[in-house]
């Protein structure tokens, strides 16, 4: 590929390997919280070194005697806040977060930011995404954690801490937390680690081992503030500053940093419309071997070969490279060797001199060790993007051992423009590791993007959605976006809205602002946000439309919406057409120009506005699940429900208004509830409406109403005469009710297609009522039971309340009627008569509010605007301090949590269980251990361990701590049947543990909902279902059905029929009659199906059957050898043991490893494991006897989609494909198959449990 014409970013170059696009980047370096700030520092020529003051040094654990040591260098290049992490975002408890190596925490957050920058924070779909990551050795573990466990080698806590700080879990932690299923490799080659990770990622993309790759590295020294001792002739700088290639270079200095890039094959990135930041043309990795004077010395030959190999892979010649980001450590010998090696490599294809800029980012931020290469890589990409070469710092005179005049290189000392040439701009990056692993990467600027030829953006109302997982993060999101828009006011708002909507996930805490311009957006984002809404997992909340009655209308309502055209205008025009014959004129005159407030046209205008608003919302995807109207508004609700057509409803409403107006009278609103108001009512007036606990209206003849007002005034009761000169819902109307009935008989009345609440009863309108003329007459005459109606509406799923019409009168009445305890989410769709907000803003804000409530998607962008994703700030992590101080260090003070919460602990979460504090010294001691292990403050003795965030590993830690502290001695399994402090103490008094093997295991006995029964898998125990508890709500009881024989009190089931009959009897003991809810994973799935069929044969209702990747075992025949192999594998999982290297151990081998234990590092003892093994054998023996019946109803199925199909004849049926399809003939209804991205045996891990739990929660709720 020496031909320069081929050396372009054409992704299709015959048989050549694909080029690799850089589509996302994120980093945190000293002095730079993100990539943009990093470039600002580079361009400005800033170094990020800083001195460490005496107080800071001593607080970090420094020896006061060292303060005067002239050889102690206290100049550092560090990341601020390495002790902080957003544990809640990634689902870590405070205790667990404090144990994880800060390097892993930083890499995790940065990887997420990189994915955001690439535009894939919402997920990668079904694509394989690899992770290639490296780090320095954990310095946190030996200095901060290991001393905590001195004298306790082999403890569970120590093993857990070591795992959380192991390089081996670095990449896999990212893959797990972000749900990435491609290759996941942790790498370490000393100082070249990061570039080797990039190279390996590129190779796997080229070889199609993955579709996208994350590559990066991190290096953090928690002890950096203690400085280092300078040694003459050593590799470190005497003053902490790095002077690469300079005459006064005297060594390097260390720094902290983390960076991650997202890579993709260029052709795929172009096809997917990704933003391409740069292109990796080629890379190479090699090792020096023994071609050097010592193990830690550099090798000119090794470096030259790596550079040449990368240029060859890139298909370019050296004269096309304009910038080399060197390793550049500023050591007296290292720099000359590197320049000589580079010159030797370049001389193979060019004789030019002084044309290529040579820099080292170490002069800005120090040597980042394992992360050094990613810092250089990011710098090079930014230089290509900005078309500028940043200066290399602290360079005045060249190293005398480097003759730059004879080389292709020069060292830039100021920011330089990088002009276009005859080839794309190219840069190269080097990283050389101690031990000789060299890496070199050739980068090229991104393919040219056509100039933005779009027309100038037109101002229109747009919704900018914001979401986060905590209130502080939500505020941070708004502030960061405001800064971005203020810094770049040229950003098109349509692009910003599109990026937020289409490229960022909608998290549970949401808000939104409606704006027309970047300037407005900055103001709205910096102001207090509209009240955030917390969206629960599972099915979206229902939507209820509220239609106000007369009195809220005003001339000009909806004018802006009408002028904008579209569905709203069409609806108004259609209504005006229908009404013209009866009115003898155009309703739009009354609607938009002038009208007597008491005229029929004014009230008709309100109904028309409501209908048009509902049509506009429907066009935008917002449709009601239920409705309620206040008086006149019920006609609009009934029309939308299909009781009337529009052509029938409008003339009826016209006649109704005319008849009411003809009767005259007056109406007064009174600030009393119905019981308090009754004594004031006389025969002359009627109770017209009950709107809330202190809001009613009274109607009647004018004189009678005036008399009532006089008596109310005497009693000091607040009242207000309504402006309508009529007395609806009173005896004043009696003379015209017959005529009204006649008009109603002229229209066919139909059953409602959408449920609505009627004012007459305050309950759901029945088909008979909706079709009854007498009911509609009563609706006009009788009291409006709005307060009762709102409560009825609320009881059906706590809907989001949307007022369809001007203002928020009904929302306020609804809030008062429901009380402060109801978490009402109200949405206003049109401004109040006195408000000045434009109609478009109010409607856009309503759409944003509905999105915030999780009930509606935001409108798709207008295709004519040709929106594009744009770079926006990354997620504003809500970082808190999670840190274990090293011995001798001064603790950093109180935590960031609420007052009174100890450092590193979270306050007790909301639970339906009453908080009962410890009542005895034993309860107090046990609770303190619980709080320490879970990292939660304020635990009550009746709080469920699993609702507090506990899991099986944490359970083992807890019981171990209780034992060590001399508080309780119970096995970890005891927590399953006794998951509260009080019950665990009671279990300990009984010897602890046996209840964990009882046939019915109460995972959560409390709650008002119908219980969910979870049938054991093949191992016979139902413990793993505890992972569902946090996702189903604290009011959902959950019981595990466990195999007979585990507790040693009953014999195992003799066959499939006996097992089914025994479990049915067990269910009926707990819940005598249906409806029943059943779930089972694997073996438990087909047993649950058998139980459901048996219950239906007995006449019982089964309202939920959920099978988790359940195989079909009928007719299978296993040898004893095959059964033993299965039992051994299952027993390892139950006992929490690693299989180790080599062949799978036998059952006897597993039992031998557990022999004599009493709960130590396993949830079961050796004796308990023996019983479990025996039950497993029996379960597998009788499994082929489960001949499936036919379940009458729908069923849920969850397929483990990440399993590789088992080979034909494989023993384990759980790994065979097509399990869901095999069950369809045995379910009469719909089998809803939900794929879960995990393997069969990983289905009860936290991630899959959360996904399954969300679906189950929605199903249980419905």
pLDDT tens digits, residue range 724-743? 789 999 999 999 999 999 99
Tens digit of pLDDT for each residue in 612-645? 999 999 999 999 999 999 999 999 999 999 999 9
Residue 1143 confidence (pLDDT): 64
Helix (H/G/I), strand (E/B), else coil: 1222 = helix
CATH code (residue 1107)? 3.40.50.1820
Residue 995 confidence (pLDDT): 67
- State the burial class of residue 874 (Cβ atoms within 10 Å of its Cβ: 0-12, 13-18, 19+): buried
CATH code (residue 487)? 3.30.70.3290
> 79-93, 301-315, 992-1006: lowest mean pLDDT where?
992-1006
Q: Which residues are catalytic?
A: 191, 327, 367, 631
Tens digit of pLDDT for each residue in 666-684? 999 999 999 999 999 988 8
Residue 437 confidence (pLDDT): 95
- Could you say which DSSP state residue 141 is in? I
Which band of pLDDT confidence, cut at 50, 70 and 90, is reported for residue 318? very high
Residue 1180: name the closest of 965, 1061, 1005, 1017 by CA: 1017
Tens digit of pLDDT for each residue in 7-66? 345 554 456 778 999 999 999 999 999 999 999 999 999 999 999 999 999 998 899 999
Tens digit of pLDDT for each residue in 1028-1084? 887 887 778 999 999 998 877 788 999 999 999 999 999 999 999 989 999 999 999
Element (H, E) at 688: strand 686-692
β-pairing, 84-85 vs 72-73, is unpaired
Residue 306: name the closest of 352, 263, 266, 338 by CA: 338
Does 240 reside within a domain? Answer: yes
Looking at the structure, do residues 1037 and 1066 belong to the same domain, yes or no? yes
Does 1257 reside within a domain? Answer: yes
Residue 943 confidence (pLDDT): 85
Among residues 415, 445, 475, the one where a domain terminates is: 445
Looking at the structure, do residues 484 and 518 belong to the same domain, yes or no? yes
Q: Please state at what angle helix 633-641 crosses helix 646-663, rounded to 10 degrees.
A: 160
Tens digit of pLDDT for each residue in 749-772? 999 999 999 999 999 999 999 999
CB of 831 closer than 8 Å to CB of 839: yes
Q: Which residue has the tokens 């025969």?
A: 683
Highest mean pLDDT range out of 299-313, 817-831, 852-866? 299-313
Looking at the structure, do residues 1101 and 1157 belong to the same domain, yes or no? no
β-pairing, 129-135 vs 533-534, is unpaired
Cα-based angle 1245, 1236, 474 (whole degrees, multiple of 5): 75
Both tokens of residue 707?
Answer: 């008399």
β-pairing, 906-907 vs 1076-1081, is unpaired
CATH code (residue 189)? 3.40.47.10
Looking at the structure, do residues 303 and 176 belong to the same domain, yes or no? yes
Looking at the structure, do residues 638 and 497 belong to the same domain, yes or no? no
pLDDT at 950 over 50: yes
CB of 807 closer than 8 Å to CB of 828: yes
CB of 216 closer than 8 Å to CB of 108: no
CATH code (residue 927)? 1.10.1200.10
Among residues 540, 570, 597, the one where a domain terminates is: 540
Both tokens of residue 1131?
Answer: 């027993």
pLDDT at 892 over 70: no
Give the E-state strand segments of 381-489 in sequence order.
Answer: 388-389, 409-410, 416-417, 426-432, 437-445, 462-468
Helix (H/G/I), strand (E/B), else coil: 434 = coil
Looking at the structure, do residues 24 and 160 belong to the same domain, yes or no? yes
Looking at the structure, do residues 323 and 396 belong to the same domain, yes or no? yes
CA distance linking residue 700 with residue 685, whole number of Å: 5
Which band of pLDDT confidence, cut at 50, 70 and 90, is reported for residue 1165? low
Q: Which residue has the tokens 């009168």?
A: 809
Looking at the structure, do residues 1153 and 1191 belong to the same domain, yes or no? no
Residue 314 phi, psi dihedral angles, 5° rounding: -80, -20
pLDDT at 933 over 90: no
Does 387 reside within a domain? Answer: yes
Q: How many domains does the chain have?
A: 6
Does 895 reside within a domain? Answer: no
Average pLDDT rounded to a whole number, residues 527-550: 88
Residue 1092 confidence (pLDDT): 96
pLDDT at 802 over 50: yes
Which band of pLDDT confidence, cut at 50, 70 and 90, is reported for residue 900? very low
Average pLDDT rounded to a whole number, residues 874-896: 79
Instruction: Tell me how far apart the terminal alpha carbons of the chain are, to the nearest angstrom.
Output: 64
Looking at the structure, do residues 503 and 439 belong to the same domain, yes or no? no
HEC letters along 467-482: EECCHHHHHHHHHHHH
CA distance linking residue 789 with residue 758, whole number of Å: 7
Residue 932: name the closest of 1001, 878, 987, 884 by CA: 884
CA distance linking residue 389 with residue 384, whole number of Å: 8
Average pLDDT rounded to a whole number, residues 919-927: 86
- Could you say which DSSP state residue 16 is in? S
Peptide bond just before 1075 cis, omega within 30 deg: yes
The domain of 505 spans: 462-540
Both tokens of residue 483?
Answer: 């800064």
Average pLDDT rounded to a whole number, residues 203-207: 96
Q: Who contacts 345 (Cβ-Cβ below 8 Å, separation ≥6)?
A: 303, 304, 307, 308, 311, 318
- State the burial class of residue 257 (Cβ atoms within 10 Å of its Cβ: 0-12, 13-18, 19+): buried
Q: What percent of the chain has pLDDT over 70?
A: 92
Tens digit of pLDDT for each residue in 827-852? 999 999 888 889 999 999 999 999 99
- State the burial class of residue 569 (Cβ atoms within 10 Å of its Cβ: 0-12, 13-18, 19+): middle
Q: Which residue has the higher pLDDT, 840 or 1201?
A: 840
pLDDT at 1206 over 90: no
Tens digit of pLDDT for each residue in 321-361? 999 999 999 998 899 999 999 999 999 999 999 999 999 99
Average pLDDT rounded to a whole number, residues 401-427: 96
Q: How many Cα atoms sit within 13 Å of 337 on the Cβ side? A: 17
A 10 A CB-CB count for 204 gives 20
Looking at the structure, do residues 1135 and 1244 belong to the same domain, yes or no? no
Give the E-state strand segments of 908-999 in sequence order.
Answer: 936-937
Residue 1018 confidence (pLDDT): 85
> 351-355, 400-404, 1101-1105, 1123-1127: lowest mean pLDDT where?
1123-1127
CA distance linking residue 425 with residue 403, whole number of Å: 26
Average pLDDT rounded to a whole number, residues 1138-1156: 64
CA distance linking residue 987 with residue 968, whole number of Å: 10
Does 681 reside within a domain? Answer: no
Q: Which residue has the tokens 């108001």?
A: 677
Looking at the structure, do residues 971 and 1080 belong to the same domain, yes or no? no
Does 1135 reside within a domain? Answer: yes
pLDDT at 1154 over 80: no
Looking at the structure, do residues 623 and 643 belong to the same domain, yes or no? yes
Does 429 reside within a domain? Answer: yes
Tens digit of pLDDT for each residue in 446-475? 999 888 888 888 889 999 999 999 999 999
CB of 175 closer than 8 Å to CB of 210: no
- State the burial class of residue 1223 (Cβ atoms within 10 Å of its Cβ: 0-12, 13-18, 19+): buried
Among residues 540, 558, 585, the one where a domain terminates is: 540
- The rounded mean pLDDT for the chain is 88
Tens digit of pLDDT for each residue in 987-1010? 665 444 456 788 998 888 878 889
Which band of pLDDT confidence, cut at 50, 70 and 90, is reported for residue 910? low
Does 337 reside within a domain? Answer: yes
Average pLDDT rounded to a whole number, residues 883-912: 62
Cα-based angle 652, 658, 659 (whole degrees, multiple of 5): 90
Which band of pLDDT confidence, cut at 50, 70 and 90, is reported for residue 1142? low
């Amino acid at each position: 590929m020496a031909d320069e014409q081929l050396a372009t970013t054409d992704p299709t170059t015959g048989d050549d390997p694909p080029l690799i696009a850089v589509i996302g980047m994120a980093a945190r370096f000293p002095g730079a919280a993100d990539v943009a700030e990093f470039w600002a520092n580079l361009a400005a020529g800033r170094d990020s070194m800083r001195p460490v003051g005496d107080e800071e040094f001593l607080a970090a654990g420094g020896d006061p005697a060292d303060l005067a040591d002239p050889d102690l260098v206290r100049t550092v290049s560090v990341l601020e806040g390495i002790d902080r992490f957003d544990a809640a975002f990634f689902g870590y408890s405070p205790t667990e977060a404090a144990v994880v190596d800060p390097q892993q925490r930083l890499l995790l957050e940065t990887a997420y930011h990189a994915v955001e920058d690439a535009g894939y924070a919402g997920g990668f779909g079904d694509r394989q995404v690899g992770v290639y990551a490296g780090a320095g050795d954990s310095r946190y573990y030996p200095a901060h954690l290991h001393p905590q466990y001195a004298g306790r080698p082999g403890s569970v806590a120590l093993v857990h801490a070591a795992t959380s700080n192991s390089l081996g879990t670095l990449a896999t932690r990212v893959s797990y937390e972000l749900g990435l299923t491609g290759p996941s490799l942790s790498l370490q080659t000393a100082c070249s680690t990061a570039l080797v990770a990039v190279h390996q990622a590129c190779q796997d993309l080229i070889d199609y081992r993955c579709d996208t790759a994350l590559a990066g590295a991190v290096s953090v020294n928690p002890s950096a503030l203690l400085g280092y001792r300078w040694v003459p002739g050593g590799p470190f700088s005497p003053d902490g500053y790095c002077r690469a290639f300079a005459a006064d270079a005297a060594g390097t200095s260390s720094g902290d940093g983390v960076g991650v890039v997202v890579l993709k094959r260029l052709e795929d990135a172009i096809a997917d419309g990704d933003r391409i930041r740069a292109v990796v043309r080629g890379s190479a990795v090699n090792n020096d071997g023994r071609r050097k004077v010592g193990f830690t010395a550099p090798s000119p030959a090794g470096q030259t070969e790596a550079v040449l190999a990368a240029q060859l892979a890139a298909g370019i010649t050296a004269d096309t490279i304009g910038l080399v980001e060197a390793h550049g450590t500023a050591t007296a010998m290292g720099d000359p060797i590197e320049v000589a090696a580079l010159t030797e490599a370049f001389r193979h294809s060019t004789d030019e001199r002084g044309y290529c800029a040579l820099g080292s980012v170490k002069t800005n931020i120090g040597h980042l060790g394992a992360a050094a290469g990613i810092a250089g890589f990011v710098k090079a990409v930014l230089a290509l993007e900005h078309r500028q070469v940043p200066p290399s710092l602290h360079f005045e005179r060249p190293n005398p051992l480097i003759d730059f005049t004879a080389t292709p290189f020069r060292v830039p000392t100021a920011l330089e423009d990088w002009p276009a040439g005859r080839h794309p701009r190219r840069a190269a990056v080097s990283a050389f590791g101690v031990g000789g692993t060299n890496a070199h990467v050739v980068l090229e600027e991104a393919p040219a993007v056509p100039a933005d030829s779009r027309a100038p953006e037109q101002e229109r109302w747009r919704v900018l959605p914001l979401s986060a997982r905590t209130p502080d993060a939500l505020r941070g999101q708004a502030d960061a976006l405001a800064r971005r828009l203020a810094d770049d006011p040229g950003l098109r708002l349509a692009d910003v809205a599109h990026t937020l909507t289409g490229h960022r996930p909608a998290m549970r805490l949401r808000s939104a602002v409606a704006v027309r311009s970047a300037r407005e957006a900055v103001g709205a984002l910096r102001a207090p946000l509209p009240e955030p809404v917390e969206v629960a997992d599972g099915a979206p909340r229902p939507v209820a439309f509220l239609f106000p009655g007369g009195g809220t209308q005003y001339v000009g309502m909806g004018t802006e919406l009408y002028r904008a055209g579209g569905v709203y205008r069409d609806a108004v025009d259609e209504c005006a057409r229908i009404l013209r014959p009866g009115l003898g004129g155009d309703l739009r005159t009354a609607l938009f120009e002038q009208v007597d407030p008491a005229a029929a046209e004014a009230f008709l205008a309100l109904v028309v506005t409501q209908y048009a608003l509902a049509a506009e919302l429907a066009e935008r995807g917002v449709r009601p699940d239920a409705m309620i109207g206040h008086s006149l508004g019920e006609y609009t609700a009934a029309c939308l429900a299909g009781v009337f057509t529009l052509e029938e409803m409008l003339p009826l409403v016209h006649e109704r208004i005319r008849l009411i107006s003809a009767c005259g009278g007056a109406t007064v609103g009174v600030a009393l509830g119905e019981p308090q108001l009754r004594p004031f009512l006389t025969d002359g007036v009627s109770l017209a409406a009950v709107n809330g606990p202190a809001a009613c209206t009274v109607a009647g003849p004018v004189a009678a109403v005036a008399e009532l007002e006089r008596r109310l005034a005497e009693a000091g009761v607040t009242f207000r005469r309504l402006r309508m000169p009529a007395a609806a819902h009173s005896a004043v109307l009696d003379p015209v009710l017959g005529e009204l009935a006649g008009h109603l008989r002229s229209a066919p009345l139909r059953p409602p297609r959408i449920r609505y609440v009627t004012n007459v009863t305050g309950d759901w309108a029945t088909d008979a009522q909706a079709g009854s003329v007498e009911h509609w007459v009563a609706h006009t005459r009788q009291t409006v039971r709005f307060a009762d109606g709102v409560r009825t509406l609320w009881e059906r799923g706590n809907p989001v309340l949307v007022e369809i019409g001007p203002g928020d009168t009904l929302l306020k009445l609804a809030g008062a009627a429901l009380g402060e305890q109801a978490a009402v989410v109200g949405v206003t769709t049109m401004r109040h008569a006195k408000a000045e907000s434009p109609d478009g803003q109010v409607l856009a804000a309503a759409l944003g509010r509905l999105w915030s409530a999780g009930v509606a998607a935001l409108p798709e962008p207008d295709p004519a605007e040709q929106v594009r994703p744009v770079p926006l700030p990354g997620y504003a992590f809500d970082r808190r301090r999670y840190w274990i101080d090293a011995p001798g260090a001064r603790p950093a003070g109180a935590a960031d949590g609420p007052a009174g919460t100890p450092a590193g602990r979270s306050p007790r979460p909301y639970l339906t269980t009453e908080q009962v504090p410890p009542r005895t010294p034993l309860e107090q001691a046990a609770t303190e251990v619980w709080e320490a292990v879970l990292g939660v403050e304020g635990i009550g003795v009746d709080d469920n361990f699993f609702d507090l965030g506990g899991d099986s590993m944490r359970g083992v830690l807890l019981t171990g701590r209780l034992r060590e502290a001399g508080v309780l001695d119970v096995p970890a399994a005891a927590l399953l049947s006794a998951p509260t402090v009080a019950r665990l103490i009671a279990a300990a008094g009984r010897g602890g543990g046996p209840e964990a093997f009882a046939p019915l295991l109460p995972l959560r006995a409390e709650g008002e909902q119908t219980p969910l029964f979870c049938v054991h898998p093949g191992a016979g125990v139902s413990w793993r279902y505890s992972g569902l508890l946090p996702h189903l709500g604290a009011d959902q009881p959950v019981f595990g059905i466990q195999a007979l024989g585990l507790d040693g009190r009953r014999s195992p089931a003799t066959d499939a029929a006996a097992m089914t009959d025994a479990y049915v009897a067990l269910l009926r003991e707990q819940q005598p009659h249906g409806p029943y809810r059943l779930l089972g994973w694997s073996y438990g799935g087909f047993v649950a199906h058998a139980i459901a069929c048996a219950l239906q044969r007995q006449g019982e209702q089964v309202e939920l059957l959920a099978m988790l990747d359940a195989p079909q075992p009928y007719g299978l025949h296993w040898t004893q050898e095959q059964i033993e192999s299965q039992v051994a594998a299952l027993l390892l999982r139950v006992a929490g043991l690693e299989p180790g290297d080599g062949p799978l151990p036998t059952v006897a081998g597993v039992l031998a490893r557990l022999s004599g234990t009493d709960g130590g590092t396993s949830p079961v003892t050796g004796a308990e494991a023996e019983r479990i093994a025996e039950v497993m054998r029996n379960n597998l023996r009788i499994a082929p006897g489960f001949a499936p019946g036919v379940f009458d109803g729908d069923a849920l199925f969850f397929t483990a989609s990440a399993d590789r199909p088992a080979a034909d004849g494989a023993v384990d049926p759980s790994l065979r494909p097509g399990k869901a399809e095999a069950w369809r003939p045995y379910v009469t209804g719909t089998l809803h198959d939900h794929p879960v991205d995990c393997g069969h045996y990983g289905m009860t891990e936290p991630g899959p449990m959360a996904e399954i739990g969300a679906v189950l929660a929605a199903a249980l709720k419905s």
